[in-house]
Amino acid sequence: MNPKIWLSSPHMGGTELNYIHEAFDTNWVAPLGPNVDNFEKSIASFLQEDVHVAALSSGTAALHLALILAGVQAGDEVICQSMTFSASANPIAYLGAKPVFIDSEADTWNMSPALLEQAIQDRIAKGKTPKAIIPVHLYGMPAKKDEIQAIADKYGIAVIEDAAEALGSHINGKMCGTYGLISALSFNGNKIITTSGGGALVAHSKDLAHKATFLATQARDAAPHYEHSHIGYNYRMSNICAGIGCGQMEVLAKRIEQRRAIYTRYYNKLKGIQGISFVDEPTGYFSNRWLTTILVDAEKTNGISRETIRLALNEDNIESRPLWKPMHIQPIFASAPFYGDGTSERLFRDGLCLPSGSNLTDADFERIFAVLDKVFG
Ligand SMILES: *Cc1c(COP(=O)(O)O)cnc(C)c1O
């Protein structure tokens, strides 16, 4: 059996262990310390805006705290992109709030601004203004943020940006992670850079970022004993994980180049094949191309579907994966309201994520392309 080729595996830059050794040498083996501070500063500086960052144990934790800080409470409605990873929607349920799902549009595969506005009007007509909106930048492609923000502003609803997959993506130079009231980043093992597991909350407001850190460290009031006037969480990032993050930040720009080069490589390989399509960057949009994704129209490929390709790759121990299954057709969210036109269901039916790790070798690509040649032979 050939060795496994993963969809997106961790790719160390080389200096991560220096930061970890430093943490051991100085005994900062705790969920705070110099690496945490440096990592937060380094993210803020990468985002090129006056933002404040709280490093956390996961992107999911960041979304959970973001919703709390946006004032979401039990019984509130929160609008969420349907086509996404479940971690975008689960924190709504943690709070006893109710998700309302919105379909994708075809240009970016992200939240449709038209359906968003329709949904808001309908929810208001039914008696309730949604409390927050969670758009997602799938696979690194920015959502239509200006349009979404304009609608959110019109109805006075907070935007919580799920930028877990989009560190380094931007629209006309404005970075994903700086849109909306609060943004969430993820450094899970499969993301463009990793801390093994981790995330960050980003806010323009220093006060909100401080509150996030306060809630993430068990909400301890200032007192010599343990005094609490809020429910707290244990969501802070460890100084060891942050050490990995500090090393990874040194190679982030290179990782973005590498991921984009992988996209181009697949694009050049497959662009001539009838029935295969890619998602282009709209004018002014820049995707980090976290994962390269294709749509396979079986009616134009002589019956070759995304499953044909996935199974053929799997046969050679190569991992690929269908696009995110939309939340509105997940059993756990089946009863949630949904506003859509079938776009995300079509994307889920036809879409495939191809191996996209920045550590893929030429030999890996030879194997992947040999399988694709065989399928389309
Ligand atoms: C990875 C991811 C998250 C969650 O991040 P974790 O760090 O794994 O908790 C949230 N939303 C999206 C879209 C993601 O891809």
Count up the domains in the chain and report the number.
2
**Residue 246: predicted pLDDT:** 98
CA of 88 to the centre of ligand 1 (A): 7
Residues 189 and 292 in one domain: no
Residues 354 and 324 in one domain: yes
- Is the pLDDT assigned to residue 299 strictly greater than 90? yes
Where are the extended beta strands (E) located within the chain?
Answer: 52-56, 77-81, 98-102, 132-134, 158-162, 170-171, 174-175, 182-186, 199-203, 276-277, 285-286, 292-296, 321-322, 338-339, 351-354
The ligand 1 atom nearest the CA atom of 197: 7
For residue range 307-350, list pLDDT tens digits in order. 999 999 999 999 999 999 999 999 999 999 999 999 999 999 99
For residue range 167-208, list pLDDT tens digits in order. 999 999 999 999 999 999 999 999 999 999 999 999 999 999
pTM of the model: 0.97
Residue partners of 275: CB distance under 8 A and separation at least 6: 296, 297, 298, 299, 300, 301, 304
CA of 1 to the centre of ligand 1 (A): 31
CA of 94 to the centre of ligand 1 (A): 15
The domain boundary residue, chosen from 224, 251, 278: 251
End-to-end Cα distance, the chain: 23
103: containing domain: 16-251
The ligand 1 atom nearest the CA atom of 62: 9
The CATH number covering residue 240 comes to: 3.40.640.10
The ligand 1 atom nearest the CA atom of 198: 7
Residues 244 and 145 in one domain: yes
CA of 291 to the centre of ligand 1 (A): 14
Q: How far apart are CA 302 and CA 289, in angstroms?
A: 28
Can you tell me the mean pLDDT for 138-155? 98
**Residue 1: predicted pLDDT:** 84
Residues 244 and 257 in one domain: no
- Is the pLDDT assigned to residue 273 strictly greater than 90? yes
Residue 49 lies inside a defined structural domain of this protein: yes
Short-list 43, 132, 94, 77, CA closest to 235? 94
| Pocket residues: Cβ below 6 A from ligand 1 | 58-60, 84-85, 87-88, 136, 162, 164-165, 186, 188, 199
